[in-house]
């Protein structure tokens, strides 16, 4: 509530009482009912002066209250969130790299991926051992797909902890006091979105690995089958030389 009207009213009442008392005191030495006009005017001026002074005091009180409120806002706007929540996806991403690179899998994280690809998928080249080549091709495909599934399973185990962190950030944003806490809550939400995008990118890479392994296996198997067919068609039986064979009856 604004204290200004109350202060002014109190000042007017006080000044009026003072003026009446002064008038009555001055009138005690003269004939009853004969109050001097000059004294009345002086009392009116005194009342007006008191009212003006009360208004000035009220304005000063209002300015002081506004300054205090401004200082309180400044303090509130500089408050930090007590416990900021920062999700770190680096550990999870390192685990993803580990689970996708197992067995004979052709992992996207391999440092020598070009040479490994050429070794596992040579294309239209006759292998020395078709059985061993088929087994290696099968193991590479299965291990690559299993690694992608393990990566998805690893991220699914993070749903509970991620939901708890998001709930905490949401509560902080709803109860933020001042600009600083609101900004910090927004920063936490933005960082959580970045971490989710990194995890999504890792899953997409794992999916690409599984799809590529399957398609490469199909292509390599077709190349092997074509090579076997070609070798079969090129196979010729060498006829026996009958010129040196012994004649019957000789």
Q: What is the C-alpha to C-alpha distance for residues 213 and 208, in angstroms, rounded to an integer?
A: 8
- In this prediction the pTM is 0.55
User: What pLDDT, on a 0 to 100 scale, did the predictor assign at position 3?
Assistant: 52
Determine contact, residues 90/197, Cβ cutoff 8 Å.
Answer: no
Which residue positions in the chain have pLDDT lower than 70?
Answer: 1-36, 82, 84-89, 235-250
Q: What is the C-alpha to C-alpha distance for residues 108 and 99, in angstroms, rounded to an integer?
A: 12
User: What pLDDT, on a 0 to 100 scale, did the predictor assign at position 23?
Assistant: 52
Determine contact, residues 74/120, Cβ cutoff 8 Å.
Answer: no
User: What pLDDT, on a 0 to 100 scale, did the predictor assign at position 37?
Assistant: 73
User: What pLDDT, on a 0 to 100 scale, did the predictor assign at position 237?
Assistant: 46
At a CB cut-off of 8 Å and minimum separation 6, what does 19 contact? 43, 44, 46, 47
Q: What is the pLDDT of residues 29-70, one digit of tens each?
A: 444 444 567 777 777 777 777 788 888 888 888 888 888 877
User: What pLDDT, on a 0 to 100 scale, did the predictor assign at position 30?
Assistant: 46
76-80 — which CB contacts under 8 Å span 24+ positions? 76/177, 76/178, 77/178, 77/179, 77/180, 78/178, 78/180, 79/177, 79/178, 79/180, 79/181, 80/180, 80/181, 80/184
Integer CA distances (angstroms), 73 to 46, 172, 177, 190, in order: 41, 19, 10, 26
The structure tokens listed for 82 are 């007590």
Integer CA distances (angstroms), 240 to 24, 80, 235, 245, 246, in order: 160, 97, 16, 10, 13
User: What pLDDT, on a 0 to 100 scale, did the predictor assign at position 86?
Assistant: 65
Q: What is the pLDDT of residues 182-209, one digit of tens each?
A: 888 888 888 888 888 888 888 888 888 8
Tally of CA atoms within 13 A in the half-sphere of 129 that contains its CB: 6
Q: What is the C-alpha to C-alpha distance for residues 79 and 3, in angstroms, rounded to an integer?
A: 30
Helices 178-233 + 113-120 axis angle, to 10:
30
């Amino acid at each position: 509530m604004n204290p200004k009207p109350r202060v002014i009213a109190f000042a007017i009442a006080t000044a009026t009482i003072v003026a009446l008392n002064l008038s009555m005191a001055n009138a005690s030495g003269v004939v009853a009912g004969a109050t001097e006009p000059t004294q009345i005017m002086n009392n009116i001026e005194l009342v007006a002066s008191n009212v003006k002074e009360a208004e000035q005091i009220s304005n000063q009180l209002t300015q002081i209250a506004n300054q205090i409120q401004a200082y309180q806002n400044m303090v509130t706007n500089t408050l930090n969130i007590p416990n900021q929540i920062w999700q770190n996806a680096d550990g999870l991403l390192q685990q993803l790299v580990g689970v996708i690179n197992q067995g004979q899998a052709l992992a996207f994280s391999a440092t020598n991926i070009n040479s490994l690809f050429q070794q596992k998928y040579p294309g239209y080249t006759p292998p020395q051992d078709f059985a061993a080549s088929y087994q290696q091709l099968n193991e590479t495909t299965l291990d690559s797909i299993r690694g992608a599934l393990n990566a998805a399973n690893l991220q699914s185990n993070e749903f509970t902890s991620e939901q708890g962190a998001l709930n905490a950030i949401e509560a902080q944003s709803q109860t933020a006091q001042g600009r600083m806490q609101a900004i910090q809550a927004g920063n936490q939400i933005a960082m959580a979105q970045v971490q989710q995008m990194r995890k999504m990118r890792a899953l997409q890479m794992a999916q690409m690995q599984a799809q590529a392994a399957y398609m490469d296996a199909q292509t390599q198997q077709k190349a092997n089958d074509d090579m076997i067919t070609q070798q079969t068609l090129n196979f010729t039986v060498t006829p026996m030389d009958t010129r040196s064979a012994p004649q019957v009856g000789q």
